[in-house]
A and B are shown apart, each in its own frame.
Chain A
Amino acid sequence: MTVRARAVLGYGLLVGIGLAAPFLVYPVFAMNVLCLALFASAFNLLLGYAGLLSFGHAAFLGAAAYAAGYVTREWGLPTEAGLLAGVAVGAGLGLGFGALAIRRSGIYFAMITLGFAQLVYFLAIEIPWTGGEDGFQGIPRGKLLGVLNLDRPLVMYYFVYAIFLAAFWLIQRTIASPFGHVLRAIRENEPRALSLGYEVSRYKLTAFVLSAALSGLAGALRAFVNQFAALPDLYWHTSGNVVLMTLLGGMGTVTGPSVGALLVGVLENYLAGLGSWVTVITGTVFVLCVLSFRRGIVGEVRALVKRSF
């Protein structure tokens, strides 16, 4: 089998699973997993390909959710406008945070992004219209293009799925583009990329803004799925969770983050009945994965396939 045929088969299988998902599992759960998968894929663009570990991605997800909720509930704008508002807020915050954060690297970069994210978290606690710890409730799902009623679970699911596929394709294209190759060059050896004449900081900033905008899209989408935006979306736990998803699934692989998001989603939701064991199990799974297969699930599978064919 050629590499191309294998890729087509693999993607075809994933698309098929996505199409059948609302009949196999609970649609709202499936939508949540898709949003998290998009979020993790956006994060992976930055961590896996540009080698930048941001610890503040919750800010983009959460702020976009609040923005999308605000423009639709308070101003009565349509759902599409809510999504655009989410993307715009994600990109805007990304530009602001990124411009300052990329001046440093490594742990300092992570700390700056974490600091900014906590800033946004406390803003959400303080600003009266966010509803504080009650969360911003009652976001209307609205109608797509004024026709399709998104309150129906299946319609909403395929809407979310279409957006996920589009965004996923965009991420895939970005990674495969010359821009993506430059990002990888920067990840592998920054001084060398610089000496080859690439303006490293502009590439980093572009990747950061792109990742933030896509995270914003995921956040806005999630706000419509759940019909609320709440503080946990902005909390640093969420930033940590997305690192977990990416590492579990396979950092620097295209499908890895989605697999990781699925795994974490299943653990969080389907084990909720086990009470305190959820945290213990998630922790154990994470430790086992990092210790025994460091490339993540998809990374390991890919390596296995490469060896056997």
Chain B
Amino acid sequence: MNRIHLSKLSLALLAALPLAGQAAGVSDGVVKVGVLTDMTGAYSDLAGPGSVAAAQMAAEDFGGKVLGKPIVVISADHQNKPDVASNVARRWFDEEQVDVVADLVSSSTALAVMPVAAAKKRITLLSGPGSDPITGDRCTPYNVHYTYDTYSMAHGTGSAVVQQGGKSWFFITADYVFGRTLEEDTASVVRAAGGKVLGAVRAPFPTADFSSYLLQAQSSGAQIVGLANAGADTVNSIKQAHEFGLTPKQSLAGLLVFISDIHSLGLEAAQGLYLTTAFYWDRDDESRKWSQRFYARTKKMPTMVHAGVYSEVMHYLQAVKAAGTDDADAVMKKMRETPVNDFFAKNARIGPDGLLRHDMYLARVKAPKDSKKPWDYYQILKTIPPDQAFPPLSASKCPLVKK
């Protein structure tokens, strides 16, 4: 009895399903941006609530409406778990009319959501993750990788530091795929630029005590100690390098450092560190103006991930307006056709692999005495043009790139 009743119910529900179809123009009368990010975990400082605020700022600055339909920003915490991320994304696409997912910090969540979005023809705008397969063999036609990738971090810092005179290198590497890729990439760039790699040491991931690795780096006598690690590992190694007196005799080069890391480390410990960044708030008038507004809202200066989220959401909304629809194919076409021109990037274009190639900046962390105001942390040494910062299309492993 029970079962018969239920199967009738299921049939009725099944019949009701096809009603949820798609219309032309703006589907469902709303353009919905879903910010899927790490709200509480290791990346919540560099992305997290700041990314949500950035997306909201973009929606407000656009006027809250596109093509006469409201823009809605929603957010969720993926807890850095790929299963949670892909579940939330599926629910967003199927039940909450989300048109575009932004940020997706941490590569595993991004790589989990990308195929889901592509299958449902929705767009992903990545700002937080950096892994190369995103625009390599795992690329999708509905994805934009906006802010940085590991290649740009390795190549930016590697070649630029050698040009600045840092000829001999030693690496402290987090012993897993990400760290090893970062080390190998950087080492090859250093050699190509005429530098020397004196050695490397692999630290298990994660490590709290870097003393033995730092001692090896110290005794190698290298001018530059490259930190091929991320997050807490980077913060711990920088802090301990300072305590060991490694710096300032040797200089550290962080291969994935965000301004939020520097803020929590303090300038005393971080001074002299070389790093590559896609955005620095105090670089020019435009970036200052936007960052002050971001600061007024969040009481923090933006990381490059935050700036990337604002810029990518803005670029998306402009493309929706220009295309006259929120249909993913049409919007992607417009986004590729139109160069990005704002406080974040100048004349930057999205390639067929989904990567936005834009200027990156080599920066050095200031000494405490040179820092004149709060958040005055970086001295920008050099602008790295897109063709040096990002991988050439000819070498792309992405099947969408026609050669």
Contact = CB atoms under 8 A, between A and B. Distances in A.
A133 B177 contact: yes
Interface in B48-102: 49, 74-84, 86-88, 90-91, 94-95
A233 B112 CA distance: 14
A274 to B, nearest CB: 8
* Range for the number of chain B residues in contact with chain A: 35 or more
Interface in A187-237: 222, 226-228, 230-233
B13 interface: yes
Nearest to B205: A125
Interface string B16-55: 0000000000000000000000011000100001000000
A269 interface: yes
Interface of B is mostly: helix
Contacts of B295: none
Interface string A25-43: 0101100100000000000
Contacts of A232: 80-83, 108
Contacts of A275: 39-40, 49, 75-77
Given A26-B95, A134-B131, A279 B40 contact: yes
Interface in A169-186: none
Given A126-B176, A128-B177, A137-B138, A231 B108 contact: yes
B107 interface: yes
Nearest to B49: A275
B108 A29 contact: no
Interface stretch (A15-23, A81-89, A108-116, A243-251): A15-23
A161 B75 CA distance: 31
A137 B76 contact: no
A276 interface: yes
A300 interface: no
A15 B74 CA distance: 35
A233 B49 CA distance: 26
Contacts of B94: 26
A160 B133 CA distance: 30
A132 B176 contact: yes
Given A134-B133, A138-B138, A273-B77, 11 more contacts: A19-B10, A23-B9, A26-B91, A29-B91, A125-B205, A126-B175, A226-B112, A230-B112, A269-B91, A272-B77, A275-B75
17 contacts: A16-B6, A26-B91, A131-B133, A132-B178, A133-B107, A133-B108, A133-B177, A133-B178, A138-B138, A226-B82, A226-B83, A226-B112, A230-B83, A232-B108, A272-B79, A276-B39, A278-B77
Interface of A: 12-13, 15-16, 19-20, 23, 26, 28-29, 32, 122, 125-126, 128, 131-135, 137-138, 222, 226-228, 230-233, 268-269, 272-276, 278-279
